[in-house]
Amino acid sequence: MAFNNIYKGKKVLITGNTGFKGTWLSTWLHSLGADVYGYSLSIPTSPSMYEAIGLSEKIHQHYGDIRNKDEFNDYVQKVKPDFIIHLAAQALVLTSYKEPFDTITTNVIGTAAVCDAIRNIRWNCTCILITSDKAYDNVEWIWGYRETDRLGGKDIYSGSKGAAELVIKSYWYSFIKEMPNIKLGVTRAGNVIGGGDWAKDRIIVDCVKAFSKGETVEIRSPKATRPWQHVLEPLSGYLTLGQFLTEGKVDNGEAYNFGPRAEQTKTVFQLVQDLAERWGLDKDKAAELTGNSPFHEATLLKLNCDKALAYLHWHSTLHYEDCVNFIADWYRAFYVDKDKDMYQLTLDQINTYVKKAQGENLEWAK
């Protein structure tokens, strides 16, 4: 009975539900007994986790553009959700260099459309708005960023996420703060990994595609380190924040970081080798190093998650090895054991994750 059963029988509207995080989140909420309503532009990749697990049969799906304020507002007024979780975005850094204007309209105007629709809600509703760790102004220092640190990045994607934060802040102070029926929280998490992601230019996707064809994977930045975090980690944070806001256990209108354990920081090369080994391949033959990275990508951005620990009693659950195993098992089942029930496998991983969180005595998992 995770999250004090608060989502059972409730209507949860998720924007961007056909994407990577959205599909995992929809599946988890559906398994918790929520009535899930999705609002997305399209299914962003092929293959996609959304299709692999047959999610459209389990939820209510609407295809629409988040930038269309009236269409989104009408949908909210029709569904009357108890919760809104806003994930819809142009979420890829490299795409933001190719499509800067589209990235800004989707991430900034899209967020404004969500805030505007929230302004028109007359029933009780808890809203969780997702931006990114990239919303912080990355000054490339060694310390983790705190929720009070300066926002606004130098590249288009980071700038769009910083701008989305400003939009939320101004809607909050101008309108939403005075609405007794609305609870609102903002969340910032970093790069996530997990089974079911087929977005372009993501190393895991390149790996599993290569492994499934018996090819070696090309690595651009083998020495780059990332604080690898499984997708279920921030999702448990979002759902805990939704629970605590609804129960009045935390202040309204605040932002929270959800980041991984410090030990999760490994090089790209190490991750590729570990995935290959779990897949059953010779890890020394898994990768070919090409070493040319086309754009400036900030190398160091750590989140300080003390606030989530203090107020939500949340910390990340999985160890690096658990992440590697979850990911390799998910994709291997998809590519190799072709008749595997991917919905059931996804649910099994969610249940394993909840059990591990119970083992860590995390309040949300009790």
Q: Strands (DSSP E) along the chain, which ranges?
A: 11-15, 35-40, 60-63, 83-86, 125-130, 182-189, 192-193, 217-219, 225-227, 229-230, 254-258, 265-267, 287-289
Determine if the peptide bond prior to 47 is cis (ω within 30°).
Answer: yes
Question: What's the closest the beta carbon of residue 13 comes to ligand NAD, in angstroms?
Answer: 12
Among 13, 55, 59, 66, binds ligand NAD (CB under 6 A): 66
Contact call for residues 161 and 152 (beta carbons, < 8 A): no
10-27 b/e (C-beta count within 10 Å ≥ 16 → b): bbbbbbbbbbbbbbbbbb
Among 35, 65, 82, 155, binds ligand NAD (CB under 6 A): 65
- Please say which residue, 191 or 358, places its beta carbon nearer to ligand NAD: 191
Q: Is 271 in the site for ligand NAD (CB under 6 A)?
A: no
Among 7, 29, 44, 145, binds ligand NAD (CB under 6 A): 44
- Please say which residue, 190 or 242, places its beta carbon nearer to ligand NAD: 190
For ligand NAD, the nearest residue by Cβ is: 19
Q: Which two tokens stand for residue 22?
A: 């959205």
Applying CB under 6 A, the site for ligand NAD has a residue count of 28
The secondary element (H helix, E strand) that includes residue 307 is helix 306-312
Q: Is 53 in the site for ligand NAD (CB under 6 A)?
A: no
Question: What's the closest the beta carbon of residue 272 comes to ligand NAD, in angstroms?
Answer: 17
Query: What character string, x for contact with ligand NAD (CB under 6 A) and - otherwise, covers 9-28?
Result: -------xxxxxxx------
Query: What character string, x for contact with ligand NAD (CB under 6 A) and - otherwise, covers 78-117?
Result: ---------xxxxx--------------x---x-------
Stretch touching ligand NAD by CB under 6 A, among 189-197, 210-218, 266-274, 275-283: 189-197
C-alpha distance from residue 58 to each of 234, 284, 331 (Å)? 23, 42, 22
- CA pair distance 359, 317, nearest whole angstrom: 9
Question: What's the closest the beta carbon of residue 159 comes to ligand NAD, in angstroms?
Answer: 13
Question: What's the closest the beta carbon of residue 1 comes to ligand NAD, in angstroms?
Answer: 27
Among 61, 73, 126, 132, binds ligand NAD (CB under 6 A): 132
Task: Identify residue 51 by its one-letter amino acid code.
Answer: E
Tell me which DSSP letter residue 133 carries. Answer: G
Contact call for residues 153 and 135 (beta carbons, < 8 A): yes
- CA pair distance 187, 89, nearest whole angstrom: 14
State the pairing for strand pair 229-230/11-15. unpaired
Query: What character string, x for contact with ligand NAD (CB under 6 A) and - otherwise, covers 195-214?
Result: ----x---------------
- Please say which residue, 90 or 316, places its beta carbon nearer to ligand NAD: 90
Beta-carbon contacts of 248 under 8 Å, excluding residues fewer than 6 positions away, are none
- Please say which residue, 71 or 363, places its beta carbon nearer to ligand NAD: 71
Bridge partners for 226 per DSSP: 266
Contacts with ligand NAD by CB under 6 A lie at 16-22, 40-42, 44, 65-67, 87-91, 106, 110, 130, 132, 189-192, 199
